[in-house]
């Protein structure tokens, strides 16, 4: 398994799984600069009742709409709890 960390736009990464993060009560994941991708992920978060609590996760299959095959959103908990 090969893991790569980047700060580049997730919508342009040709990978099997792209990972992004959300705090509690975020309506969309943080750090997703592509507006369309951010809106798609936000809609999935809402549909799945993703709350951003620690351990929450959402996997979304992009069905060829983006270069990444799937996206994973991981909940980080309350932003105020992060040092």
7 has pLDDT over 80: no
Q: How much is the pTM?
A: 0.88
3-state DSSP of the chain: CCCCCCCCCHHHCCCCEEEEEECCCCCCCECCCCHHHHHHHHHHHHHCCCCCCCCCEEEEECCCCCCCCEEEEEECCCHHHCC
6 has pLDDT over 80: no
Name the pLDDT band for 71 (thresholds 50, 70, 90): very high
Cβ–Cβ under 8 Å, residues 58 and 48: yes
Strand partners, 21: 30, 74
């Amino acid at each position: 398994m090969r893991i790569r960390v980047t700060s580049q736009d997730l919508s342009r990464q040709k990978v099997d799984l792209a990972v992004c993060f959300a705090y509690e009560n975020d309506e969309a994941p943080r750090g997703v600069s592509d507006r369309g991708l951010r809106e798609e992920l936000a809609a999935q978060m809402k549909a799945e009742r993703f709350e951003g609590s620690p351990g929450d996760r959402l996997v979304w299959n992009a069905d060829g709409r983006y270069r990444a095959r799937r996206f994973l959103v991981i909940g980080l908990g309350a932003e105020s709890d992060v040092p």
